[in-house]
Amino acid sequence: MFNIDRKSLKFKMWTYFIIFAAAIMLLLWLLQIVFINSYYETMKTNEIKRIGNSLVREYGKEGFEDLLYTTSLNEGIVINILDQEGRLVYPLDLIDIIIQPRLDYRLYMEFLVNLSKAENNYVVYTREDPRLENPTLIYGAILENPQGSNYFLYIKSTLQPIDSTVNVLKDQLLMVTAISFVLALILSFIIAGKFTRPIENITEAAKKLAEGNYNIQFEKGYYTEIDNLADTLNFATGELSKTEELRRDLIANVSHDLRTPLTLIKSYGEMIRDISGNDEVKRNSHIKTIIDEADRLTRLVNDLLDLSKIQSGIDKIKLNKFNIRETTERVLERFHYFKNEEGFVFTLNSPKKAMALGDEEKIEQVIYNLISNAVNYSQDEREIVINILDREEEVYFEVIDRGVGIPKEELPNIWDRYYKVDKRAKVGTGIGLSIVKSILVAHKAQFGVESELGKGSKFYFTLRK
């Protein structure tokens, strides 16, 4: 027994295709068998009406009698011209001229009554005659005669039986129906398989992706929508792969940044216990190291918390006017150690008042991270230049260093979480620039970076005034 999934797309397509074919066959049967008699009568009536109205328009013109003869012969119908007494006016042969034939009185009176009830100058009706096997279709119209009495156009045509035609159609339709259903079954199976196979392949690939195989490639199908889906999933796979790589880098970076201060804290704590407990100078030095390393751990944890809060929208932006020069000077005071102990030169070029609109506390964090990033990646040339420009509608801020620089192919990635250009670098966790990006995006600020490998970098952003 086959296990058929009735909710599957393949089964649904197969079912709909069969229903569609059945509906077409039913419509053909109804039109060709059930409604063919009424359809035939309607078509015959319209045809007689068309012929009669055409003859009425030609009445009085030259060659009218020839037209009556040829129309009667070609169409296989009886065409008579009658006078007001019901006598035959045309066609007449020699015997007709002598005998003066007339239409049956009852038929003539019925003809006149029907014609008098007509809204137009013509009438079409069907007459049943018990002496005849088939009904007769009759057309009548008034032929106006300016020189005398009016004549009447009388057309008679037998409604031929179409039973034999219907039987032939039935036999043909039975064959067509059988062939159509077989073809529908085959085509629906092929089309459903062709349509669902790419989706099944994508589903299998998605299962492998869920198991952690980021090297999987989603195959395209026969349709644009399937191709678009495959492209989107391939892009998502690439992003997941990058995220997984960044996650591993984060674990490695954070592990390193946690291990070093924790090791130092433990080591110096043991030194205080075992060696310098009674030596005030050494004890204070060791305690300072412990405090510095604890501060380093605090900064790392704060960075992680800040990034989480900003990206989750918990930490709302509060817009206020502030002097960004004063904010920058306050940040630079935190880099006195690098200025005094490691030979860094910090140059600030700014007007005395550079008023900006933003969350001062968040912008202070942006400035700190940009300057810290410049310090971390500077080498021999330890000059950091900060330029603030007061423009017409905005304040422009940039930090320039002469450090290692960033390869062009890496520039789009530096704003990603936990991303580090140099994976071997021991400074930072790659969180700083991601925090910068999140804060500036929340401010709807323009920002970017220009860099050349080996020559340094320039990070910049703008704020509304």
List pLDDT tens digits, range 211-227: 778 788 887 777 777 78
Asked whether the beta carbons of 248 and 255 are under 8 A apart, the reply is no
Q: Is the pLDDT of residue 34 over 90?
A: no
Lay out the sheet containing 456-464: strands in order across.
345-349, 383-390, 394-401, 456-464, 447-452
Q: Are strands 151-158 and 78-82 parallel, antiparallel or unpaired?
A: antiparallel
Write down the pLDDT at residue 260: 61
**pLDDT value for 90:** 77
Instruction: With cut-offs at 50, 70 and 90, classify the pLDDT of residue 354.
Output: very high
Whole-number pLDDT of residue 423: 43
- Cα(369)–Cα(434) distance, integer angstroms: 10
pLDDT of 313 over the 70 cut? no
Neighbouring C-beta atoms of residue 389, cutoff 10 Å: 15
Query: Residue 256 pLDDT > 70, yes or no?
Result: no
Question: Token match 């159609």: residue?
Answer: 169
Beta bridge partners of 37: none
The listed range with the strongest mean pLDDT (303-312, 410-419, 422-431) is 410-419
Strands (E) in 202-354, as ranges, are 320-323, 345-349
User: If you average pLDDT over residues 293-322, what whole number do you get?
Assistant: 72
Q: Once rounded to an integer, what is the mean pLDDT over residues 157-174?
A: 67
Could you read off the pLDDT of 109-147 as tens digits, one per residue? 888 888 888 887 889 988 887 666 778 889 999 888 777
The chain-wide mean pLDDT, for the chain, equals 79
Q: What is the pLDDT of residue 246?
A: 63
Q: Tell whether the model's pLDDT for residue 283 goes beyond 80.
A: no
pLDDT value at residue 92 = 57
Is 350 in a helix, a strand, or coil? coil
Any idea which of 116-125, 156-165, 387-396 has the lowest mean pLDDT? 156-165
- Look at residue 339 in the predicted model and tell me its pLDDT: 85
For position 293, what pLDDT does the model report?
73
Average pLDDT over residues 422-440: 67
Segment 333-356 shows an average pLDDT of 89
Contact 374, 405 (CB under 8 A): no
The residue among 17 and 114 whose pLDDT is bigger is: 114
The length of the chain is 465
Task: Compute how many other C-beta atoms are within 10 angstroms of the C-beta atom of residue 299.
Answer: 12
Rounded CA separation 11/4 (Å): 8
DSSP state of 102: B
* Highest-scoring range by mean pLDDT, 211-215, 311-315, 448-452: 448-452
Residue 11 tokens, joined: 């089964």
Residue 355: pLDDT band (50, 70, 90) is: very high
The tokens describing 380, both together, are 């021999």
Q: What is the DSSP string of 5-69?
A: -TTSHHHHHHHHHHHHHHHHHHHHHIIIIISHHHHHHHHHHHHHHHHHHHHHHHTTSTTHHHHHH
Please name each of the domains of the chain with its CATH number.
Answer: 35-161 (3.30.450.20), 224-307 (1.10.287.130), 316-464 (3.30.565.10)
Q: What pLDDT, on a 0 to 100 scale, did the predictor assign at position 439? A: 87
Give pLDDT, residue 398: 96
Summarize the chain as % helix, strand, coil (round to 5).
55, 15, 25
CA pair distance 437, 413, nearest whole angstrom: 12
pLDDT band at 69 (very low <50, low <70, confident <90, very high): confident
pLDDT > 70: percent of the chain: 79
Q: Report residue 424's pLDDT band, with 50, 70 and 90 as the boundaries.
A: very low
Class of residue 198 by CB neighbours under 10 A (exposed 0-12, middle 13-18, buried 19+) = buried
For position 33, what pLDDT does the model report?
Answer: 62
Sign of CA dihedral 187, 190, 194, 196: positive
How confident is the model at residue 306, as a pLDDT?
Answer: 67
Q: Whose CA is closest to 150, among 215, 227, 70, 86?
A: 86
Task: Determine the average pLDDT of the residues in 415-426.
Answer: 52
Give the mean pLDDT of 33-49: 77
The predicted structure's pLDDT at residue 94? 46
pTM value? 0.46
Q: Which residue has the higher pLDDT, 35 or 111?
A: 111
Distance of CA 225 to the CA centre of its chain: 8
- The pLDDT of residue 165 is 59
Spatial separation of the C-alpha atoms in residues 351 and 329, rounded to whole Å: 12
More confident residue, 198 or 253: 198
- Worst-scoring range by mean pLDDT, 105-109, 231-235, 315-319? 315-319
Q: Can you give the pLDDT at residue 425?
A: 45
Q: pLDDT value at position 1? A: 45
Amino acid residing at 163: D
- Of 318, 458, 319, the closest CA to residue 397 belongs to 458
Span 45-56, mean pLDDT?
Answer: 90
